[in-house]
Structure 1
């Protein structure tokens, strides 16, 4: 059954809730935990819409959902997303999802319903996807935690998940605390996540001048100062805006994935989604290859930073959550399109596949990102645990 936008789900977070949850296997390490599933994951017996009225390809059954059920967690239903995951506000063809605590504001996307289900304590954790910030942005704007693993992490499978961009897609969890995320990571990998001492950790602070409003800048600097108090060294670093590589890659791949629907006279996408997909279709082979060439250059820059730093610290969002329908935000350098202002902070780390966690700050609905080296997910989560524990 679909969940109507009524008093039972005023935020319109739920796409599907069966009468009974899919029970986890007895005795597993995640026994007792409940989770929601972003409606891109294939779940046997459950519908998949990707929060669009357009036809979408069937991805098959999600390997990750099946593993989590086998580890004891119970799946209670599917959550809405920004249509086909191509956006960062939560807009879709089913009324769109609103912020968990302010109905006039967006929750972030594309894993909007995932973040809301966690923020409202409806589940213990949520499965989301992240192609350019789709776990980290809603985590920040809803005041919860999110984790985007290293691209291709063997325990965070994208098999059985409707893709947006096979180059940039990741799966990952959102939760109200990092302990829960670490528990899931431990269950999936078989490796215990231990708190990591911040003493001596080299932190690169990526806080480009003018890219955020004053409140976000102050929250990020306060977070950096807290890490220094724990013994870390914090040094400013520089990375360029990478949307000139990210956008052509994602739009061209999304257009390929949804090519059959785009052949229809009226495929059923919302106008903003249809326009983006058609722009992806119009991209030439040379334009896309040039974007991949730029991506390789950016990967070289990021890898170079990680020879001098252990982790990077950056804002997860440029401002607190904007109003529904707001297309622009004001940051230090002026008024910018919302998409650009948000994605230029988060897209580099999905474009380049680096593991990243989004952590809330003392400023409501503002988060920061901690970014680690490829494959150092466990250490990154361990540093996050130590921060959360106050160690």
Structure 2
């Protein structure tokens, strides 16, 4: 199938990007979300007037350069939601990438093109960014692995900001081994190492946020994992105040997004999708006192999670609340879906801890991911653990 079939890539004229002839990623190809600079290409940030103002970038983002230096070949820049400020993957200006795992349903965003490029086997792995779930959502919806690393662990300079205290560069792969190979290049050694016999703590309040039928399907996966890897624990709830966390995240993210882009929006007046215009307007109205309250809650939540996970515990939660909605889903249904989604995705964003999503269910209504959230700095051992969970999830119970 021709790669344009999936509309994963931005249609830029190809420019040669040099890579090392040998290295740990030699022979592999990768794509880059179009919010990350690559020399010789513009950076559109998913919006035509940003593209017009971009010009050809003179420098390549350090995270991309690390991959090139490790021998990986750059294959192109991929579609993103407008300003990378959505989890749906729909773009009214440049079109919506087609979800290879569930055509007719949204691919998830905002790293939509990168997820689709990996799921469609157009590249071996791809870079995306994750502020409030922009990597984890499309990974779950396209039936692939994705990691949001520990905040600040991967260099995100020369990446277009959305909300600076949350923005994180991560990547997609079709299997855990590839996720780990890329991690070996980008992450350096873990500062916290998870034991092979880690304690799995089920985040019950998160399962309660998922649609009941989704929660039930994932419970079946948990039973298979338990048979292989031992007891899963649900004695403590990791996020008892999930609604408070949701609002804290929304207030900070929206305000930071407005601060990052308001000059451009006010001066250029770009045509924004209505839902996006609403989100920016919401951010503009968030008061200093709301931001201060939200920041204080984030500090308390991070301390709570640090104590809860210690050095040997990971949180198990649904990546998304339901399978991917249809492309033409009504706005009211999308709003409910978005609210549930942000409640699940905001935990790792607020804590700044690593989260890996594992493809565990393929059904007629599209794929579902199960997530592991680990302590800060445990990214590489979290990937190893995710690999074992993925194997256990695939085993059928006799």
Same-fold status (TM-score > 0.5): yes
In the TM superposition, residue 18 of structure 1 has moved relative to its aligned partner by 4.0
Q: Is the 8 A contact 1:219 1:363 kept in 2?
A: no
Aligned equivalents of 1:98 and 1:211: distance in 2? 27
Q: Is the 8 A contact 1:18 1:77 kept in 2?
A: no
Q: Is the 8 A contact 1:36 1:126 kept in 2?
A: yes
Aligned length: 377
3-state SS in 1 of match to 2:17 = coil
Residue 284 of structure 1 aligns with which residue? 287
Aligned equivalents of 1:342 and 1:315: distance in 2? 10
Aligned equivalents of 1:11 and 1:351: distance in 2? 33
Aligned equivalents of 2:148 and 2:35: distance in 1? 16
3-state SS in 2 of match to 1:128 = strand
Q: 1:265 to 1:173 in 2, by over 3 A?
A: closer
Q: Does 1:63 align with 2:78?
A: no
Q: Is the 8 A contact 1:115 1:174 kept in 2?
A: yes
Residue 97 of structure 1 aligns with which residue? 97
Q: 1:308 to 1:284 in 2, by over 3 A?
A: same
**TM-score normalised by length of structure 1:** 0.89
Q: What do you get for the CA RMSD once the two structures are aligned?
A: 2.6
Aligned equivalents of 2:387 and 2:18: distance in 1? 28
Q: Is the 8 A contact 2:30 2:72 kept in 1?
A: yes
Aligned equivalents of 2:387 and 2:269: distance in 1? 48
In the TM superposition, residue 274 of structure 1 has moved relative to its aligned partner by 1.9
3-state SS in 1 of match to 2:49 = coil
The structure whose residues are more often helix, as a share, is 2
Aligned equivalents of 1:319 and 1:145: distance in 2? 17
In the TM superposition, residue 262 of structure 1 has moved relative to its aligned partner by 1.9
Residue 123 of structure 1 aligns with which residue? 123
Q: 1:134-283 alignment to 2 at 5 Å?
A: 134-153=134-153, 156-189=154-187, 198-199=196-197, 201-208=198-205, 210-236=208-234, 237-238=236-237, 239=239, 240-241=241-242, 242-264=245-267, 266-283=269-286
Gaps of 5+ in 1: 1-6
Farther-moved stretch of structure 1 (263-272 vs 357-366): 263-272
Gaps of 5+ in 2: none
Q: 1:21 to 1:103 in 2, by over 3 A?
A: farther
Q: Is the 8 A contact 1:23 1:72 kept in 2?
A: no
Residue 350 of structure 2 aligns with which residue? 351
Aligned equivalents of 2:178 and 2:373: distance in 1? 19
Moved over 3 A (4+): 16-21, 56-61, 188-192, 195-199, 327-330, 387-391
